[in-house]
Amino acid sequence: MESYIVDWLNLLLRWLHLIAGIAWIGASFYFVMLDNSLKAPKKAEDAKRGVSGELWAVHGGGFYNSQKFLAGPKGELLSDDLHWSKWEAYTTWLSGMGLVAIIYWYGASSYLIDKNVMALSPAAAVGISVAFTVAGWLFYDTLCKVLGKNENVLAGSVFVLVMAAAWALFHLFGARAAYIHVGIMIGTIMVANVFFHIIPGQKQMVADIRAGREPDPTPGLIGKQRSVHNTYFTLPVLFIMISNHYPMTYSHKYGWVVLGVIMLAGVLIRQFFVLRHGGRVNWALPAIGVVLLAGLAVAIAPQSAASVKGAGPVAFAKVQGVFQARCVSCHAAQPTQPGFAQPPKGVLLETADQIATNAPKVAETVGNRYMPIGNLTQMTDEERQLIATWFAQGAPTK
């Protein structure tokens, strides 16, 4: 019953996380587009009112005129009916950390720790997880304060920070958990930007305007910088959110490098759209991104099975013995592995027919070390090779 309740918490938190994330990223994308698409106001009276830019748009059967006031309207009161974009961010982060708690902290022994990487205790693993989440923000915030006036140097330094964290995490946790923790670190940086800089800066400007003071531009400039950073973080984070479905990436020997290449491609593609909103089209950016992804796909492609086809015939009884010893504790109608109320993804491996049905996916996930999760059952390299040879020989069950 405990595992069943945890599964329901997982489902509901994941659903909330997805909904809130769509709202947050959608709002971020929209405002970046809006800010970069503004044109000088056509009416002189609008310029006198403090309008610095405007955009006419059509959507959903209606026409919209968005206007931007850098320091609020001149000669009139600032409306009390202001819309604040913050709870989308906070809800996304809180629901995401809820998922981390029930999957990677509560299930640390299964999903966080890989004893082949480092034999951590659950308490130590959770402590490291929390430390990386906090330390990532502190290092990033310090870099922004020290290098904030040189965006190119800052961008390079932040990328180095993320890559260093990815490398370290790959030497501490299981590969899947390492990827997710890079995403946790970046997501925490994003929401901390909102909480500590963007919203406080906006509140200070509103207070100054309503008090009749000229707003201090510094908080606004910092908030703008952090908002721009957040938009470049989005595509890498979105990839990490779906990465657990693609073990070919994180299970690679140099999975942290694979992640870096994918994140870089995402940043380049996002930059293309940011520039395009301002009327500048640079096709080289998405082209380089596609080349990086294509090159990566070739570089990490699995080796040909030709080398195992020449091996002697593998008896199915030996293969089935490996499944019984290493896989069936989870992949059974009634799993015996603690923490599993049902077989992962509904895959059953108890009978010859079930093994034959799932042979292609089993060979892939065992070969790229995605399964067993965290190598809980201590599958050996020889056993992985046995399954690869059996599959290359046609996966016979007789």
pLDDT tens, residue by residue, 248-286 = 899 888 999 999 999 999 999 999 999 999 999 999 999
Tell me the per-residue pLDDT of 325-379, one tens digit each, with 9 for 90 and over: 999 999 999 988 887 878 888 899 999 999 989 888 888 888 877 788 878 888 8
Query: Over pLDDT 90: what percentage of the chain?
Result: 67
Q: Do the Cβ atoms of 379 and 328 come closer than 8 Å? A: no
What is the pLDDT at residue 71? 85
| Per-residue pLDDT tens digits for 160-184 | 999 999 999 999 999 999 999 999 9
Q: Residue 239 corresponds to which tokens in the numbers above?
A: 């990839």
Q: What is the pLDDT of residues 9-58, one digit of tens each?
A: 999 999 999 999 999 999 999 999 999 999 999 999 999 999 999 999 99
**Highest mean pLDDT: which of 167-171, 205-209, 330-334, 389-393?**
167-171
What's the pLDDT at 185? 97
Please check whether residue 129 is in contact with residue 181, taking contact to mean a CB–CB distance below 8 angstroms: yes
At 378 the pLDDT is 85
Q: What are phi and psi of 74, to 5 degrees?
A: -95, 135
Distance, CA of 121 to CA of 28 (rounded, Å): 39
**Confidence check: pLDDT of 309 > 80:** no
Locate the domains of the chain by residue range. Answer: 2-33+84-234, 44-69, 307-392
Evaluate if residue 217 carries a pLDDT over 80. yes
Reading the block at residue 84, the tokens are 């604040």
- Which among 84, 78, 80, 132 is positioned nearest to 104, based on CA atoms? 132
Specify the pLDDT at position 70.
Answer: 87
Q: What is the reported pTM? A: 0.86
More reliable by pLDDT, 191 or 367: 191
DSSP state of 64: E
Distances (CA, A) of 14 to 3, 11, 307: 16, 5, 42
* Confidence at residue 260, expressed as pLDDT on a 0 to 100 scale: 97
The pLDDT of 212-235, averaged and rounded, is 91
Q: What is the pLDDT of residue 370?
A: 77
| CA–CA separation, 256 and 249 (whole Å) | 9
Place of tokens 């510094």: 218
How much is the pLDDT for 368? 77
Q: pLDDT at position 310, please?
A: 57
User: Smallest Cα–Cα separation from 373: which of 119, 184, 109, 166?
Assistant: 109
pLDDT of 306 > 70? The answer is no
In the predicted model, is pLDDT for residue 308 greater than 60? no
- Give CA 219 to chain center in angstroms: 28
Mean model confidence pLDDT for the chain: 91
Higher pLDDT, 293 or 371: 293
Q: How confident is the model at residue 2 (pLDDT cuts 50, 70, 90)?
A: confident
pLDDT for 366 equals 86
